[in-house]
A and B are shown apart, each in its own frame.
Chain A
Amino acid sequence: MATDRVVERRRIFKQYKEDVKERGKPFYPFAMFHDTVMSLVVVIVIIGLAIVWKYTTPGNHHTTAAGWLGKLYDEPADPGTISFVPRPDWYFYFLFYLLRIFKWPSTVILGTIGIPTICLLLLLAVPFLDVRSERRLLHRPVAIVASVLVIISMGVLTYKGATAKEALGTELLADVPHWAEKQGFSNNPEAVAGAKLFAVAGCLNCHTYLGTGSHNLGAPDLSAEGAKNKGIEFQISHLKCPACVNPGSPMPSFAGLGDANLHKLATFLEASKGPK
């Protein structure tokens, strides 16, 4: 059976070589003409994008305002920042959104490593999974279904990643009194200060808290984090180096906030025993 297949595909390739020799056309000028036109189109599109990027940006110089294609640049990188949005370039949105589907800590590794690795291995294996010589589309139902599913899922994930809501610290700050009331830490100034920090430090770009925030990268809901009674010391060391305490955590270090701020955040987290 397998030898039949080998004989058959060798025959077809031999026939291919003969056919090309007999009734093919020379690469130059025929195919090369198409290639040249297409390459010119590519270069023009790239230059066009660069021009649109620059000239739709409001103002002329030194601005972080966004044009049609987004900002020319953002504020300078600041490791000690208290507000950030971890957002990759658009062609990684499908991975970015994939991480929302999985829950920390049990299955998030599937989204970060498992599925991308499996996809890459499957992609490498395509010629060995599909060993028939058949090339006509209507005779390759599995290939058609697989490619349609891949295109739809990549498209949906990219779209969802692109439209994923970002939490704005200034708007979230207004929720702090409401949180303090629900959690009952209104008379604990350290916890309230921590809550304000929590609202503006970008925590809610990944975590959710009492219904606000955007669930990203598999980060857990923190509404009842204090109910686990892990202690302030634990919370501080976790904020300083999440992966040291929780192996495999993609959360960035917040050591840049400084010990005083970390203590406030930890107090707030420990005071969050769940809504009453």
Chain B
Amino acid sequence: MATKPMTRSEQLQQTIVYPLDWLEERSGLVGGVKYFLFRKVPGDTDWWQTLGSATLTAFLVQALTGVILAMYYKPDPTVNPRTNLPVAYQSMQHITNDVFAGWLVRGMHRWGASVFIILMFMHMGRVFLFGAYKYPRELNWILGVLLLASGLAEGFTGYLLPWDQTSYWATVVGVNINGTAPFLGPFLAQFLNGGTAINADTLSRFYSIHMLLIPGAIFALIGLHLYLVIRLGVTSPPWSKEAAGTGPLAPPETNGAGRVGLVSPSARRSAR
């Protein structure tokens, strides 16, 4: 092979590009990431549109801190005869008082839940304010409402896990309220309790729902939600002078008198 020896920068490029090309050829992932990063968003996109990604960040904090908590938490309501405390309660105390930075991880999970829920509401408010749920983004609004309901269900199921008085009795009443729903209510309450009333199996049931069932659903819903955001695009603020969807902008030198495009200025004003 009589090829010219490569220069240093060419060698370097080769080592970076080769694995990427290998991956791209087999998965198309590199192109996907490139499309995601370099796709165009409206020029007037600003802080308003960061609430969605902020909500995602809060969820990822919950997922990460939740995984760490799960390494120490024991969903067992039986009373340890030596300490006279329920095992679950004791493991929560152990996380809070003894495990290195356990208080921080538990505190982040506890308060991250509130931040996550506040951000979901704020993000929803922004979408409502912008009219961003309108055609063709109706499905994404519905996915968002399902995410909100799933988030609240996470809050409800997670509240029981410390297994203290507050969490226990709030959950007893909460499950009873679920049980009052017509038709499905009694089945839902029985499913949540793992029996006719709160019992030894209820805690592990809540734990499983809280860390496997609903988070799985949330991950899937977020995936669909983001897919639709990327496919349909981000909405301009409705008050923006250069909102995407209003047609080409007037060239500054003509002062709006000589706009180009097929739509007449009056029609354009009403068509946002």
Contact = CB atoms under 8 A, between A and B. Distances in A.
Contacts of A99: 177
B63 interface: no
Query: Interface residue tally of chain A, by bracket?
Result: 35 or more
Contacts of A243: 176, 179
Given A77-B168, A243-B176, A20 B40 contact: yes
Contacts of A22: 248
B152 A91 contact: yes
Task: Kindly name the residue among B47, B50, B113, B197 whose own CB sees the greatest number of chain A CB atoms within 10 A.
Answer: B50
A107 interface: no
Contact of B244 (A16, A38, A137): A16
A123 B145 contact: yes
B27 to A, nearest CB: 20
Contacts of B73: none
A37 B92 CA distance: 33
Contacts of B165: 74-78, 81, 84-85
B42 A30 contact: no
Query: Interface residue tally of chain B, by bracket?
Result: 35 or more
Contacts of A49: 107-108, 111, 114-115
Given A12-B245, A133-B135, A133-B272, A17 B169 contact: no
Interface in B228-267: 233-235, 238-239, 242, 244-249, 263
Interface string B88-121: 0100110011000001101110111111011100
B34 to A, nearest CB: 9
A23 B239 CA distance: 17
A38 B131 contact: no
A13 B245 contact: yes
Q: Is the interface of B mostly helix, strand, loop or mixed?
A: helix
Interface in A240-263: 241, 243, 248-253
A12 B272 contact: yes
Contacts of B150: none
A41 B271 CA distance: 36
Nearest to B37: A28
B145 A20 contact: no
Contacts of A77: 77, 86, 89, 163-165, 167-168
A19 B238 contact: no
B134 A130 contact: yes
A61 B99 CA distance: 12
Interface in A26-60: 26-28, 30-32, 34-35, 37-39, 41-43, 45-47, 49-51, 53-54
Contacts of A252: 169, 172-173, 176
Nearest to B61: A46
Given A46-B108, A143-B128, A32 B114 contact: no
Interface in A88-141: 88-92, 99, 108-109, 112-113, 117, 120, 123-124, 126-128, 130-137, 140
B108 A73 contact: no
A16 B245 contact: yes
Interface in B146-181: 148-149, 152, 155-156, 159, 162-170, 172-174, 176-177, 179-181
A87 B170 contact: yes
B38 A27 contact: yes
A21 B152 CA distance: 38
B246 to A, nearest CB: 7
Contacts of B164: 73-77
B196 to A, nearest CB: 8
B32 interface: no
Task: Kindly name the residue among A49, A69, A117, A132 whose own CB sees the greatest number of chain B CB atoms within 10 A.
Answer: A49
B110 A90 contact: no
Given A25-B40, A25-B43, A49-B111, A91 B142 contact: no
B40 A34 contact: no
A127 B142 contact: yes
Contacts of A21: 40
Contact of A31 (B49, B108, B270): B49
A34 B46 contact: yes
Interface string B129-140: 111111111100
18 contacts: A34-B49, A39-B53, A39-B56, A42-B57, A53-B107, A53-B110, A71-B166, A73-B93, A78-B165, A84-B168, A84-B169, A88-B156, A89-B114, A108-B180, A126-B128, A137-B238, A143-B131, A252-B173
Given A26-B41, A241-B197, A243-B176, 6 more contacts: A15-B263, A17-B233, A34-B49, A50-B111, A117-B181, A250-B180
Closest 10 CB pairs of A and B: A50-B107, A24-B40, A135-B131, A77-B168, A49-B111, A127-B138, A16-B245, A74-B164, A38-B50, A39-B57
